[in-house]
Amino acid sequence: MVARATINVCAVAFALHTAGCGLLYFSSKEQSQDFEPLPPPVLKVIGAGLVVPVLLFGALDVFLRQGAWDWLGEIKGGFKPTSTEADHEGAFLRRTWNAQSSNAQFTAGCFVLYHALSSARGSNAAIFLGVSLMILGLASYAWWGSRRQLAWRIDHLFMEVATAGLSISFIAVAVPSLEHACVALGLATCVLRGIAGRKAALLVTGVLAYVTAVFASVASGGHGSFGVFALGLALKLYGFIPKVADVNGDFAHGTAVFHWLEAAGDAVLFSWGQTLPVAADPLFTGPEPGMALFALGMASAAFAYENALVPLPAVYSIRLQG
């Protein structure tokens, strides 16, 4: 019997997807920019991103044992497992499916990075997002392969950073003059959250990503390719269903499916950001203090939770006004 928590997540995901798509659709007019997400070279990048990590870590799993992870320090203890996949304690990859499915995040990062280095708008923000996703994939391999404390910290850190990277990429496309400020803030936040070593606050970063998507839609004067946005949001929201099913013992490979759906959602939402129109009459023009106030103030407010981020950006943005 499917756990009630899994059914509840289905209902919540449907409600959030419907409301989220509706709000974005009516926030601005139907206008978009052409973007080709899958030119032939990208297909090769995707193929390599999917296959190379699986072959590499598969080979390591054959020739190495769990002790090879000792350089990461102690095993994380005192926590309730978030997956019911069988744990092979002595193997190099303790949970094979969960670890090997981390190739999805790595591949999504390769996809974004390719576009960042070719023709993507907001290229610096795209590099930030792409690299963050690639690191997240490798950290996820290490966490599900080893259960080491340090791997857990890096994995949770880059869950946040990658989601925040979506926010940065949306703003960079809609308001190019904010790109460098947002990337700098993203790097600072990565360092400060890394020092804090907290569990990933995905609700905060997820809400921030959605708010910035709506902001970018309004700022650019059009909601881009609405179908692409709806698909990306569906992948991100419905991806939590198999994860919750795994936690509740309904589906042992739920975390692996979660990895694939979430990574696909990141790639699709990045692609949606690239379809935002070039604003004919942008909300912000030029490097004015108001723009710094928006970029720094909103992000510092979002990340001030749990006393993990010193609120210097907010103080600085207030001074800019004066």
How confident is the model over 263-275, as pLDDT tens digits?
Answer: 999 999 999 999 9
Q: Is the pLDDT of residue 242 over 70?
A: yes
Q: Is the pLDDT of residue 128 over 90?
A: yes
The total number of structural domains in the chain stands at: 1
pTM for the model stands at: 0.88
Q: Is the pLDDT of residue 37 over 60?
A: yes
- Whether 294 maps to a domain, the answer reads no
3-7, 28-32, 128-132, 214-218: which range is least confident on average? 3-7
Distance (Å, rounded) from C-alpha 73 to C-alpha 76? 9
In sequence order, the β-bridge partners of residue 65 are: 91
Q: Is the pLDDT of residue 296 over 90?
A: no
Amino acid symbol at 52? V
Q: What pLDDT score does 80 carry? A: 73
Q: What is the mean pLDDT of residues 77-96?
A: 89
Q: What is the mean pLDDT of residues 132-138?
A: 98
Amino acid symbol at 30? E
- Whether 150 maps to a domain, the answer reads yes
CA atoms within 13 A on the CB side of 35: 25
Instruction: List pLDDT tens digits, range 203-212.
Output: 888 998 999 9
Q: What is the mean pLDDT of residues 2-15?
A: 86
Work out the mean pLDDT of the chain and round it to a whole number: 87
Q: What is the mean pLDDT of residues 99-111?
A: 98
- Whether 311 maps to a domain, the answer reads no
Percent of the chain at pLDDT > 90 equals: 67
Q: What pLDDT score does 217 carry? A: 92
Residue 130's alpha-carbon distances to 60, 164, 263, 283, in angstroms, are 25, 12, 11, 27
Q: Is the pLDDT of residue 295 over 70?
A: no
Q: What pLDDT score does 187 carry? A: 93
Q: What pLDDT score does 50 carry? A: 97
Domain that holds residue 89: 4-174+200-275
Q: What is the mean pLDDT of residues 137-163?
A: 96
Cα angle value 217/223/225 (rounded, 5°): 135
- Whether 288 maps to a domain, the answer reads no
- Whether 100 maps to a domain, the answer reads yes
Q: What is the mean pLDDT of residues 57-78?
A: 93
Contact 273, 212 (CB under 8 A): no
Q: What pLDDT score does 283 carry? A: 53
Q: What pLDDT score does 302 carry? A: 52
Q: What pLDDT score does 155 carry? A: 96
In this prediction, residue 111 has a pLDDT band, given cuts at 50, 70 and 90, of very high
Instruction: List pLDDT tens digits, range 44-62.
Output: 999 999 999 999 999 999 9
- Whether 46 maps to a domain, the answer reads yes
Q: Is the pLDDT of residue 298 over 70?
A: no
Say which residues have a Cβ less than 8 Å from residue 186's Cβ, sequence separation at least 6.
128, 161, 164, 165, 168
- Whether 308 maps to a domain, the answer reads no
- Whether 259 maps to a domain, the answer reads yes
Cα angle value 278/296/150 (rounded, 5°): 105
